[in-house]
Amino acid sequence: MRELLPEEKPIKMSIRPIANSMNYKNNMKKILVIEDEEIVRANILEILESGSFEAIGAKNGLQGVQFAHQQVPDLIVCDITMPELDGYGVLKLLRQNPLTLTIPFIFLTARADKNEIREGMELGADDYLTKPFRRKELLGAISARLEKDAAYRERYAIALEQYKTELNYSLHYDELTKLPTQLLLREKFQELYRETPANQTLAIMLVGLDRFEQIAEALGHAGRDNLIQEVVCRLIGSVSFNDTMARLNTNQFAIILAPGEEERDSQEVAATILDTLNQPFGLDRHEIPVIASIGIATAPHDGDDLDHLIAHAQTALSHARKLGSNQYQFYTPDIQGVSLEKLTLEASLRHALERCEFLVYYQPQVELLEGRIVGAEALVRWQHPERGLVAPGEFIPLAEESGLIAPIGEWVLREACQQVKRWQANGLPAVSISVNLSFRQFNQPDLIRRLVHILKETSLDAAYLELELTESVLVQNVEAAKRRLKAIKAQGVKISLDDFGTGYSSLKYLQQFPFDTLKIDRCFVRNINSDTKNAALTTAIISMARGLHLNVVAEGVETQEELTFLCQQRCNTMQGYLFSRPVSADEFEEMLRRGKTLSIPKSDRFGNSFFF
Ligand code: C2E
Ligand code: MG
Ligand code: MG
């Protein structure tokens, strides 16, 4: 098939011209230049200004799209190769929105690569210029384009107000991302479904950002909006021009894959989306991890109206989350059952607190000089009326998702403080208590007030309490976390960094936060005596922590060999099945009463004595 010349391309029925008619009044045409190389950009802006144009520069694709929506220029000159959102992505985004749909668009390419040019033209670019170009070439191309555009505009001019009422813009387009809303998606779906041949299917994909509430809370309003825009850029880059994308709510997007592209199946698209979103987002000098899950439903198998399809895709999305996030799931009728089970579990979790079904187990922490118990970690358990004792791994994620973790965590904290106070009152050897603090609890505005209240209520000396936090809780908003930790420390409560090694494991973070203890995750401790990589890492972590004057607790110590290695490395404290599993309060009390100690080989103790 012969390729169409740009001027032969069908004119898209659009309404943009109106916005430009305002620029026409003062007769100075507004040109937006999107170019990431500063020198090139400055050069083009200078040429345009000398050619009596009003020129605006955007330093990257995202900024370019924003300026295009805000300023509705008469023409856009855009570089193809840019990091993050490239020229094709910019054009795809602009062509999704009627305000910017028909703004003449000229691509800049570094070399006259036929494929690049063809791709640009297929996306709807009007012309291209190969770098380097002369002043005359640039101004010539712009003038030619503007003339054609003026003729077009005369034929299709409609007043802006009229357009606004006709399309009811705000109802159809999301303010922040300029993507279609569910309302427009519905119209598009009906159109697409009508056009889908009987032997083909239409896939609807729901992309949900997981734990977005927590991220948003940490980033604040503006940060959250920036993140959403960046996410949209990546999503746009992962789908094809003919696909339809909409924003359904704060953290959910729907994509209807264009029918008839058999070679491109929905699994491939879903995997690409997950991969691209998986790369951390650089915002405000922090790396923000975003995890997504995807649910897919297809018409006509799973339904033939949008509401049913979205509901089914939603079920598949929830299932993907349940399976651990960062994956996609197709809707099948049997996953409905699993979701129901989850809903039932959530409902019974809601009642579990009132029904006093939670228990706190205590796992001893043992110092490695004499082998004495010096502390305990409080670990919650759920005594489910039918399922028996449920481990936290099974309900904590659900509790976090539903927000129930805050009251549950607070109950654990109160219960554990009370218990330690009771042991002290009974004359047992003093131990400190470590309590896990979830992201939601840590971010409660009145966390300190609640903490002080519990200490007062239980009359436990704050020096015996340590709160365990994971890195992921802290890195979302470093400055806020630092303030919070300082406030906790001001109460005399200690802070422990839990599961070190599973998150960012960055020394930079360690130095910024006022930790007292570092807990090495059990994945490093496992087979430490034979696994050379784990051995090297743990040795490095221990010596680094020692340099920062932190107490080091090795988690998950299961064998005598692991213990020997840790002693030799002068680790301070251990916690693991080798000494004891988490046990009930009564069993723990019994251990304290008996003065149970860990037997440490003499030679290993000797190593420690240099340190303590
Ligand atoms: P965690 O804070 O890292 O707790 C240590 C986990 O490692 C516990 O699992 C403990 O039983 C297990 N463990 C200890 N020693 C060994 C060992 O030698 N070998 C092995 N294989 N495992 C060992 P548990 O009790 O199942 O708790 C899992 C996680 O649930 C905890 O990890 C913590 O993140 C969370 N969690 C537990 N209780 C609470 C709570 O009250 N609040 C919050 N927010 N999270 C909690
Ligand atoms: Mg812990
Ligand atoms: Mg841990």
Confidence of residue 263 (pLDDT cuts 50, 70, 90): very low
Distance of CA 165 from the midpoint of ligand 3 (Å): 57
* Pair 345, 297: CB distance under 8 Å: no
CB distance 608 to ligand 1 below 6 Å: no
Average pLDDT over residues 400-421: 92
Which residues lie below 8 Å from residue 249, measured CB to CB, with a gap of 6+? none
d(CA 526, CA 584): 25
DSSP string spanning 39-99? Answer: HHHHHHHHHHHHTT-EEEEESSHHHHHHHHHHH--SEEEEES--SSS-HHHHHHHHTTSTT
Q: Is the pLDDT of residue 12 over 60?
A: no
Match 């809707």 to its residue by tokens.
331
The dihedral of CA 502, 504, 510, 515: what is its sign?
A: negative
Q: Out of 16-25, 206-215, 390-399, 519-528, pick the least confident.
A: 16-25
Read off the pLDDT of residues 477-518 as tens digits, 9 standing for 90 and up.
778 899 999 999 999 999 999 988 776 566 666 788 999 999
CB distance 393 to ligand 1 below 6 Å: yes
Q: Is the pLDDT of residue 174 over 80?
A: yes
User: What global pTM score does this model have?
Assistant: 0.54
Read off the pLDDT of residues 110-148 as tens digits, 9 standing for 90 and up.
876 777 777 778 777 888 898 888 999 999 999 999 988
d(CA 450, CA 394): 27
Distance of CA 555 from the midpoint of ligand 3 (Å): 6
DSSP string spanning 247-267? Answer: EEETTEEEEEPPTT-TTS-HH
List the residue whose alpha carbon is closest to atom 11 of ligand 1.
582
Average pLDDT over residues 35-51: 94
Looking at residue 22, what is its pLDDT?
Answer: 37
Read off the pLDDT of residues 435-494 as tens digits, 9 standing for 90 and up.
999 988 998 889 999 999 999 999 999 999 999 998 878 876 778 899 999 999 999 999
Distance of CA 468 from the midpoint of ligand 1 (Å): 11
List the residue whose alpha carbon is closest to atom 43 of ligand 1.
436
Q: In one letter, which amino acid is 435?
A: V
d(CA 154, CA 145): 14
Tell me what percent of the residues of the chain surpass a pLDDT of 90.
48
Distance of CA 216 from the midpoint of ligand 1 (Å): 27
CB distance 438 to ligand 1 below 6 Å: yes
Q: Is the pLDDT of residue 319 over 80?
A: yes
List the residue whose alpha carbon is closest to atom 20 of ligand 1.
556
Q: Which helix (H) or strand (E) holds 338?
A: helix 335-352
Looking at residue 117, what is its pLDDT?
Answer: 78
Looking at residue 3, what is its pLDDT?
Answer: 35
d(CA 575, CA 436): 15
Average pLDDT over residues 521-541: 86
Q: Which long-range contacts (CB under 8 A, 24 or more apart) does 536-539 make?
A: 537/501, 538/565, 538/566, 538/569, 539/569
Pick from 185-189, 256-260, 367-371, 395-399 the range whose average pLDDT is largest. Answer: 367-371
Confidence of residue 23 (pLDDT cuts 50, 70, 90): very low
